[in-house]
């Protein structure tokens, strides 16, 4: 085990923060979306309440985010997916401004223009997209920039197993391998592309089986376990930092909520989530920390409280923030700040 105590404790705290965040969001999201507050005859109104629109939550998928991001520095880039909260939290995106964005408030990361699938935080080199497969080309670009600028920064493209069947997957893999870009492609395999299981959509059992076709290493992580993710990703990060090129990682993980909140989930067995929760990765990590004498019961309580307080503060901040003025909608199509273009000497 090459990981130290501090990083393990960090992973533990962040996994709690992510889990508490997603559960808090699940509850906040349902406000104003149920009868009798909504149009008569509806069972649910996706556009109602303080957090309207689609909501894709990542409870159960924490190991992917913390196991990868534990390797990253502030200068490394992360590009996430339509289910982005766990990545954002693990990358250090401030919870308060991220939450305010989902409440559509002017204090949000995008002043309310983006919403939960479109979080942009330049300071932490984080972005994400609602389009399946979009993370990979953009992560290639961040890696290309690092290479051209002579930095040893790496970039990570997270994507779901469903995205491995998009054209952008093929094009990005080949480009990154050809140009030896410092990218780590991380396939988050939660087995479901909305209602379509991986077995009905993907020609190989493991997406990493495709790595050889691009001339890059493919690394599988068969357990939804943060420490195993951390260990498996380590050589890919080292390879990227040393200018040796990209790697493809695939991590089996579990989606506890539906594809989106409100998803009837008629396509998966009723007891599937109950079974998945028996392998909850958070108690597993807690046990490891106790077994190693890295964490006392009192410390555990304190770390969980810290996570809970951070989430609670963020939601308070979001709720108390103001909405943007309606006419703000007309701003920001183009930047208007002074030109940053410079002629080099």
By the criterion CB under 8 A, which residues form the site for other proteins? 38-39, 41-48, 52-54, 101, 104-105, 108, 110, 112-115, 117-118, 129-133, 162-163, 165-168, 193-196, 200-202, 262, 266-267, 323-330, 333
Q: How far is CA 62 from CA 46, 110, 214, in A?
A: 26, 24, 28
Of 45 and 300, which CB lies nearer to other proteins in the complex structure? 45
Name the residue nearer to other proteins (CB basis): 11 or 127: 127
Q: How far is the CB of 303 from other proteins (least distance, A)?
A: 33
Is the torsion defined by CA of 209, 222, 162, 168 positive or negative? negative
Non-local (6+) Cβ contacts of 43 within 8 A are: 34, 35
Q: Which is nearer to other proteins, 141 or 217 (CB)?
A: 141
Question: Least distance in Å: CB of 314 to other proteins?
Answer: 17
Going by their DSSP bridges, the two strands 155-160 and 192-193 should be labelled as unpaired
User: Closest CB to other proteins among 93 and 285?
Assistant: 93
Q: 259: helix, coil or strand?
A: coil
Task: Give the whole-angstrom CA distance, residue 78 versus residue 246.
Answer: 14
Q: Minimum CB separation from other proteins for residue 318, in Å?
A: 12
| Least distance (Å) between residue 152 CB and other proteins | 32
The minimum distance between CB 29 and other proteins, in angstroms, equals 11
* Residues 313 and 100: beta-carbon distance below 8 Å: no
| Block residue for tokens 């250090």 | 92
Which CB atom, from 104 or from 245, has the smaller least distance to other proteins? Answer: 104
In the complex, minimum distance from the CB of residue 344 to other proteins, in angstroms, rounded to a whole number: 33
Q: Which of 139, 150, 142 is nearest to 243 (CA)?
A: 150
Q: Which is nearer to other proteins, 59 or 134 (CB)?
A: 134
Question: What would the two tokens of residue 300 be?
Answer: 């555990």
Nearest to 83 by CA among 194, 173, 237, 5: 194
How many other CB atoms are found less than 10 A from the CB of residue 312? 13
Q: Which is nearer to other proteins, 114 or 245 (CB)?
A: 114
Question: Rounded to whole angstroms, how far apart are CA atoms 166 and 269?
Answer: 27
Contact between residue 147 and residue 29 where contact means Cβ atoms under 8 Å apart = no
Distance CA(56)–CA(34), nearest Å, equals 18
Nearest distance from C-beta of residue 180 to other proteins, angstroms: 26
> Both ends of the chain: CA-CA distance in Å?
49
Say if CB 73 and CB 156 are below 8 A apart: no
CB 43, min distance to other proteins, A: 5
159 phi/psi in degrees, rounded to 5: -155, 160
> Which is closer to other proteins, CB of 12 or CB of 29?
29
Nearest approach, Cβ of residue 88 and other proteins (Å): 16
Nearer to other proteins, 85 or 239 (CB): 85
């Amino acid at each position: 085990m090459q990981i130290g105590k501090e990083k393990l404790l960090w992973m533990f705290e962040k996994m709690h923060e992510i889990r508490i965040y997603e559960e808090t969001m699940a509850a906040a999201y349902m406000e104003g979306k149920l009868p009798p507050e909504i149009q008569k005859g509806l069972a649910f109104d996706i556009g109602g309440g303080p957090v309207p629109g689609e909501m894709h939550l990542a409870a159960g998928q924490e190991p992917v985010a913390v196991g990868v991001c534990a390797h990253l520095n502030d200068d490394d880039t992360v590009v996430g997916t339509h289910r982005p909260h766990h990545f954002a939290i693990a990358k250090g995106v401030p919870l308060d401004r991220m939450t305010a964005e989902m409440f559509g408030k002017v204090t949000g990361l995008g002043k309310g223009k983006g919403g939960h699938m479109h979080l942009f935080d330049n300071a932490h080199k984080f972005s994400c997209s609602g389009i399946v497969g979009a993370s990979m080309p953009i992560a290639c670009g961040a890696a290309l920039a690092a290479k051209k600028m002579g930095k040893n920064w790496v970039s990570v493209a997270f994507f779901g197993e469903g995205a491995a069947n998009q054209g952008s997957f093929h094009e990005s893999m080949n480009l990154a391998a050809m140009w030896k870009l410092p990218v780590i492609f991380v396939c988050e395999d939660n087995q479901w592309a909305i209602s379509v299981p991986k077995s009905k959509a993907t020609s190989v059992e493991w997406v990493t089986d495709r790595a050889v076709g691009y001339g890059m290493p493919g690394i599988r992580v068969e357990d939804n376990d943060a420490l195993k993710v951390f260990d498996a990703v380590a050589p890919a990060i080292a390879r990227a930092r040393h200018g040796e090129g990209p790697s493809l990682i695939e991590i089996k993980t579990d989606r506890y909520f539906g594809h989106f909140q409100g998803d009837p989930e008629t396509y998966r067995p009723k007891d599937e989530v109950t079974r998945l929760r028996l392998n909850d990765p958070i108690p597993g990590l807690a046990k490891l920390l106790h077994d190693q004498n890295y964490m006392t019961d009192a410390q555990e309580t304190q770390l969980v409280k810290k996570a809970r307080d951070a989430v609670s503060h963020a939601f308070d901040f979001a709720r108390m923030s103001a909405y943007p003025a309606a006419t703000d909608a007309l701003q920001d199509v183009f930047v208007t700040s002074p030109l940053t273009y410079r002629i080099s000497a």
